[in-house]
Amino acid sequence: MIDTFKPVLSTESAELFESLRADFRNDIKPRDAIERMYCDDIAILSWEIKRWRRARDATMQLALRNALYEVLVERLSDMEEGQEAVSYLDQWFTHKEVRQEILETLEKYHLDESAIEGEAFRQCSSLVSQFEQLLASAEARRDRALLGIALCRRSLTEELRSKAIDVVEGKVVRLEKRQELPRG
């Protein structure tokens, strides 16, 4: 049976996910259905990890706009409140000259871009913390799946080593065929 499950959101590429899954299958070379299951879990969890990292980074990026306003208008009172300040600060992202002017303003207060980043983090720290928990969970599950493959292979290796010793000692050995499912 071919697995048609794809953990891909509408904003993501199914082709990129399939490429990632194929890369894992090519690198791990699963030998049976159990290893294919672990291999697919690793691909899915790796995809999730990439998603959580993108979401965490986008959250921080979005918070920068509000952080600029908070630092320069509310905290330092270096600009007048209002739409004019918002329009000017929005140019931080698109105009090098405005960015340089803002950096010079921050320097007057012995600050740099990290003041804006710090404020952005303060504003979204609870969300970033949630993303970090999601990342840690997905990474732990991925690592357990990798361990699962290693344990399967070690078990098979021990079984084969035991059978090889029996053969060397002249004993009749019957190897059990592992149940294979069609590859998907």
Confidence at residue 2, expressed as pLDDT on a 0 to 100 scale: 54
CB 124 within 8 A of CB 67: no
Three-state secondary structure readout of the chain: CCCCCCCCCCCCCHHHHHHHHHHHHHHHCCCCHHHHHHHHHHHHHHHHHHHHHHHHHHHHHHHHHHHHHHHHHHHCCCCCCCHHHHHHHHHHHCCHHHHHHHHHHHHHCCCCHHHHHHHHHHHHHHHHHHHHHHHHHHHHHHHHHHHHHHHHHHHHHHHHHHHHHHHHCCCCCCCCCCCCCCCC
Question: What local confidence, expressed as pLDDT, does residue 1 receive?
Answer: 47
Q: What is the pTM of this model?
A: 0.74
- Give me the pLDDT at residue 155, please: 78
What integer pLDDT is reported at residue 127 of this predicted model?
Answer: 95
The half-sphere exposure of 126 on its side-chain side, counting CA atoms within 13 A, is 1
Instruction: Sketch the domain layout of the chain as residue ranges.
Output: 14-150
Is the separation of the CB atoms in 49 and 136 below 8 Å?
no
- pLDDT of 4 reads 63
Residues 6 or more apart whose CB falls under 8 angstroms from that of 116 comprise 64, 67, 68, 71, 106
Question: What's the pLDDT at 153?
Answer: 82
The whole-number mean pLDDT for each consecutive block of 10 residues of the chain, a chain of 184 residues, reads: 75 95 95 92 95 95 95 93 94 96 96 96 95 96 93 74 62 57 53
pLDDT score recorded for residue 154: 83
pLDDT score for 167: 61
Six-digit token string for 150 = 């290693």
What whole-number distance in Å separates Cα of residue 154 and Cα of residue 55? Answer: 37
